[in-house]
Structure 1
Amino acid sequence: MRPDPQPPKRPLSLGRLIGGLFLPLVVLAFGAAALLYHPDTPLPDPWNPTTPLDPMAEVTPLTHWKLSKAVSDPMLCWAALSASGTIYSTREDQNNSDSCHIRTPTRITRIDATRLNPVETRCEIALRWAMWDRHGVQTAARKHLGSSVTRVHHFGSYSCRKIAGSNRMSQHATANAIDISGFDLADGTKIRLRNDWDGPADKAAFLRDVRNSACSWFGLVLSPDYNAAHHDHFHMDQGRWGRCR
């Protein structure tokens, strides 16, 4: 007796594969959501997407996502700025013209332990500056110079003007930029870009390290490597163009 013929095997189609995975994925998604929102979730805050940005916490793959969320809302931005130890006060929006204005104006006088001359800028710039100070500047100072930065020098943020040699308005015209010219350290060391970019090896290495770390927190960073107009400062902004040089 011949055995009964076996039915042909159906090929595994993409549709069948997706259909077979759908229910397990749904269960997994609901389980993950329950873990995240449960008050006893095992995820530490820096790794938990449901907790707000903590500028003082370790940097994780979620940090920049949390930062983008914080700067999209003035109240969240100011809350994060407070958590960073920044001393600041808020102001009413300045609307000098369509091309010259400040949204969410924020006057800062200190970033955690780092002192500075008062400057008025946008909350986003202030918060990104605080993140850079915490996770870039201080780390580089300890690494290359064995001390911490206690004062930062700047050329300001808001300035209703065009880009030098151009008809386009500068990012400074909307306080969407900050220019940094130097640093003072706790041990008395003074560092200025105009003198130290190509100066002693430890100072030059520090300045290049903080330039590179600024590129993690700002969309555009220009240094003395870019052109002669930036021989004495870092220009950092959140405009349309991205560059790190």
Structure 2
Amino acid sequence: MAYRAPRHPHIEKHARHQTLLARIVGLFLIWAIVGVMALLAERTIPAQHLPWKTLSVIDPIGVATKAKAARTGEDPAACRAVLTQGGMTFKEVQEVSADGMCQVRDAVRFTGGMAPLKPSDVSMTCKEALAVSIWERQVVQPAAFEVLGEAVVAIDNYGSYACRRIYGQAEGPISEHASANALDVAGFKLANGETVSVLRDWNDPGPKGRFLHRVRDDGCRVFITVLSPDYNAAHANHLHLDMGGGALCR
């Protein structure tokens, strides 16, 4: 007959209680550590690096900026609140629907608060506008002062909305321009009257070329997709900045 170890119900019950208590204490310690770490993060880490902190146009670019801009941009009220708190002024834009393929919703048009877009009648989704405002404030202007010694007073562009597929092809994916969720930047006008052109100055080894590469590189920390002359010939004359495509920085 096989040996059976004697049972001790009282000891077994006590062991179960001890195990349960150990688990409770372990969970309490884990949550206590998490709480202390969160408290330390709140007090020591800048808001732009914390994904749970409210996005602000006046905060420098941080590791959480792109994710917060994408998330905030999906909420029409929150998006407009961040723009307003950042000193941006804008007008609401009527919804557009065309060809059963293109729809523009939740769009705005800047009227002040940043270097004006030229032409000025640029309508874009609030999410795109939010990213553009952060880019202008925290990337373009600092780079202009540090590299060129001048402020940017206007941003030349080829527009945001265009009802088409990518590259204007008859078939294939629909462009982010079809929902006004992208902006094509052609160049910049400086306070001293000089201009910086993507087409003319991209390969310039001097300050203008360095400035363009910097606003492209740091733009990748704000926008989901950034395409430049380094990407292909179709972008030889502009920087494509959008908040809806796949993550790409070229």
Q: TM-score, normalised by structure 2?
A: 0.79
Using the aligned pairs only, state the percent identity.
34
2:166 is paired with a residue whose SS is coil
Q: Superposition pairs for residues 115-194 of structure 1, below 5 Å?
A: 115-116=116-117, 117-164=120-167, 166=169, 167-168=171-172, 169-194=174-199
More deviation, 169-178/81-90: 81-90
Aligned equivalents of 1:59, 1:236: Cα separation in 2: 16
Q: CA-atom RMSD, angstroms?
A: 3.0
Cα separation, partners in 2 of 1:154 and 1:30, compared to 1, 3 Å: same
Aligned equivalents of 2:52, 2:201: Cα separation in 1: 43
Question: Residue type matched to 2:101 in 1?
Answer: S
Higher relative contact order, structure no. (Cα contacts within 8 Å, ≥ 6 residues apart): 2
CA contact (8 A) 1:107 1:118 kept: yes
Ranges in structure 2 where 5+ consecutive residues have no aligned partner: 1-19
Please name the residue that 2:65 is paired with: 63
- Structure 1 position 25, deviation (Å): 2.7
- Would you say how many aligned residue pairs link Structure 1 and Structure 2? 227
- Structure 1 position 57, deviation (Å): 2.0
Cα separation, partners in 2 of 1:17 and 1:230, compared to 1, 3 Å: farther
Please name the residue that 2:214 is paired with: 209
CA contact (8 A) 2:72 2:79 kept: yes
Question: Residue type matched to 1:183 in 2?
Answer: F
Aligned equivalents of 1:78, 1:64: Cα separation in 2: 17
Q: Superposition pairs for residues 1-245 of structure 1, below 5 Å?
A: 20-28=25-33, 46=47, 51-110=53-112, 112-116=113-117, 117-164=120-167, 166=169, 167-168=171-172, 169-199=174-204, 201-245=206-250
Aligned equivalents of 2:191, 2:246: Cα separation in 1: 35
* Partner deviation per Cα, 1:30-80 (whole Å, 9 max, x = no partner): 6778x69xxxx8578826766522111233444344323311200000111
Ranges in structure 1 where 5+ consecutive residues have no aligned partner: 1-14
Q: TM-score, normalised by structure 1?
A: 0.80
Aligned equivalents of 1:199, 1:60: Cα separation in 2: 29
Q: Which has the higher helix share?
A: 2
